[in-house]
Structures are given as structure tokens and as C-alpha cells.
Structure 1
Amino acid sequence: MPLTTLETVTVAPSGLPALLRRLYRTLATVRRIDAGARELERRGLLTGHRPVAGRDAVQVGAAAALDVTRDLAFPAARDLGVAVTTGADAAFALRSGGTRAADGSAVTHAVAWALGAKLDRTGGVALAVLGPGSTPREIDEAMTTAAVSRLPVVFVGAAGGTRVQGMPVTLVDGADVLAIHDATARALDRARRGGGPSVVEPVLPEPGAWPGRDALLVCEQRLRETGTVGDGFFADVTDAADVIAGSVLSRIRSTRTAG
């Protein structure tokens, strides 16, 4: 059986407030865009939207741990949180279909890219976010290939029955964006140092079971505990998120009406 650990948050206190502010801003923006996208879908202006509710902390926390100068994320279909966090085109992410590429799924591409990064010695790590678009067989084959070749890949998500012998699995609170970030950062560092692939597996509450485990509220509580922000910060974040979301959603509406 693979090694399974429960990750705790160990971010250096000196950098914690700034990191939490960044994570909170991103989460709030993703939430606002997601709410608008669901409304557009209801009005028939967007099809196939995959809501991020319950998964936003996983997407944002994992993607925020990347070194964008050398790492690369391979998200599942329509992972809005990954797109916003990495600075990708959120409107494109919402409009793009969940169809498979002719040459395989995102997880397959992640392993192929990681092989190139290892051969070229770039120090880059692939982040494969598990979800729609990859079959259990593809995930199993990708993990096996990554483990055998000790490729720099971090798999994030529920791997289900696809457990590869010897691959470390870190269980982490899926509602805590900081814990996800910390666990992913450690896995990325391990892969970067030649330790091979690993899995960061979020433990998510059942829908509606833990109202207090809303990712945005958990992050807000952590941030308030640092004593570095007040109500004004959260009001400003809300206003900024509205502006960004308005721009993204306006592009989708204009594209649809023009078509």
C-alpha cells in the first residue's frame, strides 16, 4: 500500500498573512465568476458550466503553489479555479467544452510534459488536477508511468481505486485552501528534488453536512486570526471581485449574442 499521511499547515508565519490575502482574493473572485456563470447558464447564454462549489479551495490552493516560471498545471475540464489562479483566460475556460483532445486527456498530457521536463532538467513539475476528462484507466496508467519513471508530477484529487505501489498519498482538508496549498507545495518540492510523483487527496465534506466548512469562510477566519486585516479589506475584495467577474461574464455574453 502507498504511504498515506495527513498534512498540516506549516507555512512560515512571516509570509502567512500575505499568502492568505492572495488566496482569499482568488477564492472570492472564483466564487463571483462562478455565480455569474451559473446565472448565464440558467438564461441559456452558457452551456455545460461545471460549478466549482465544494472544489474551489482545492483548485485555488493547489494552483497557487505552482512556480509559474517553470511548472505547468493540467486541469480537468473547465476548472475555473485553476484558470483564475494561474492568470489564464477565465472566459475561455468557461466557454471551452469538456471534450477530450484527440491525443488523450489532461492527465496523460501532464505525464508526457513531466517526462520532457525531467529529460531537459528544467526543474519544472506538472500539476495534474484529477476530474472529468480522464477515465480511471487513464489515471491508473498515468500514475504507473510516473511512478516507474520517477517523473515530476503531483496528482491532486480523489484517485479512487487507482493506487500505485509506493506512491505517497497526502490526505488534506479539502475545505482549507491554505492546507491544500501547503500540501501541494511540499509535493511539488519533493518532485523537484527528484523524489518522484505523489498524490494530494482532499477530504471533502458531504454537500450541506458542514455549513461552517465553507472554503471562503475558513480562509476568512484564518486571515482575521492574523490580526492584519479588518472589514475594509473584505469589502474591497468583494468590490474587486465584482469588477473582474463583470468583465469575464460580459465577454461571454457578447460572444454569445454576436454568434
Structure 2
Amino acid sequence: HGDTRHVLLFPASPDECFSLAVKAFDLAERLQTPVIVMSDLDIGMNDWVCPKLEWDDEYKPDRGKVLDADALEKLPQFLRYHDQDGDGICYRTYPGVHPKGGYFTRGSGHNEAARYTEKADEYQQVMDRLLRKFETAAALVPESVLLAAGQSTTWGVISIGSCDGAIREAIELLRDKGVHADYLRVRAFPFGDEVRAFLDNHERIFVVEQNRDAQLKSLLTLETGVVKDRLISILHYSGLPLDSPTVYTAIYEQIKQSAAA
């Protein structure tokens, strides 16, 4: 059905799995698209010490753009996939609220009125709207978490998920050796402006991830336009949780080589 992207959330701990799950439901309703909480084997299977899970009884779900019966009554026609606000997110209805609110959901080409179409311009219009919605999502997803070095540095570290603890400890070990680096933990995809700013503000960036194929590095290259040679992969895929000596050694040796060059 053409090009597509999905909204991803990256928790770093069991308690963040809980809080981001709530956020995922809100985003899924607001963006009207699946939102995936990307846990990993370490979080899912091992014992963790984490804060007590807290629930806000005052919390109200964010249902997004929903037209009620009064709003539908005032419309000359309900166009399910019409981008009224220019952000790619259309207004929707609940079943049975008003006769005007009914529509068919198709898995193939449709126009903004939710009717089947094989017209190229109408199909492309829907695809362009989906791209705008993805760009809107970048401003709605949780922001990244920055651990600043406390002094000026050209080195950065970027990662996701349960790599967090090992990286934070490695940053401390590096500091003891007089090596300073800023660390950004990305919490969502699409990437927010803070991710691009972090990449722009550092000459070399270590990308720490627990997979063989450097998936995060690939996404950063594709989505931000960062020069690939500025990204240095630290990959861990032995099946065991990532540890701080692995991160520390990889970063320290690379910086030492760069200083000697």
C-alpha cells in the first residue's frame, strides 16, 4: 500500500514501560495510527529495581479529534480523510453518534471522503497527508533525555532503551579519565528537533544499540541527514544485557585513537 512509517516509543526500564504505555494509547488515539512500545529482552525477562508504579486517578484519555453529534449536524458533509487543520490528522467519529458520521474503512486506495478510488491524484493526496501526520507526530512524542557533560565537548553518545544504565555508568568512568561526552537517550520515533540539534552540536557521536545491524544508526542517517561518517557504532548482540565496561572501552579506545591521529 505504499510508503509508511510507524510511531515507536523506547522505554528504558519497567516503570517507563508503564508510563509510556499510557502515552502510547493517547498518541494512538490522537494520531489515529498504531503506536508501538519497543521493550527488549532485558526489560521483559530480568528482575529490575524501579520506582513504585503510580497511577493518576485524575488522568483523562486524549481521544484526539472526535466530532460529536452537534458538530456533525452543522457540517454539510463529513469527509473522513479531509485534512482540515493541515497537520495530517483528520477528524473522526464514533459509531452510531449521527447518520452523517458513517464511513467505510478500506485497506486499499481511497479519497478524502473514504470512498474507493483509482485516481492517481487522490491516492497521492492521501499519501502526502500521511507524511504530514508523521511530521506532526515528531512534535507530540516524548522528548529525549539529555545527560550533559557539564563542560564543552565535541563528543556525543546517543542510544535507546535499556542501554541507559550501562551508558550512564560508562560516562562516569570516562569522566574519571578526563574524557567528557554528552549523552542523549532517545525516547521516541519519529525523532524530535532535539535529536537533530544534538547531532548538529557534536563532531562525532557514538550510537550505542543492542542489535547486529545498527538499526538506530540507519534511522538517524535516513531521517536526519547527518553525515554517516560522524556516527560511530557500538553494537552489542551477544544475548546478554549490555554492561558499562563494553561501552566504556569502546568509547575510550576510539577517543584515544582520535587523539593520537
Q: Answer 1 or 2: higher relative contact order, Cα 8 Å, separation at least 6.
A: 1
Per the normalisation by structure 1, the TM-score is 0.27
Higher Rg of the two aligned structures? 2
The structure richer in helix per residue is 1
Per the normalisation by structure 2, the TM-score is 0.26
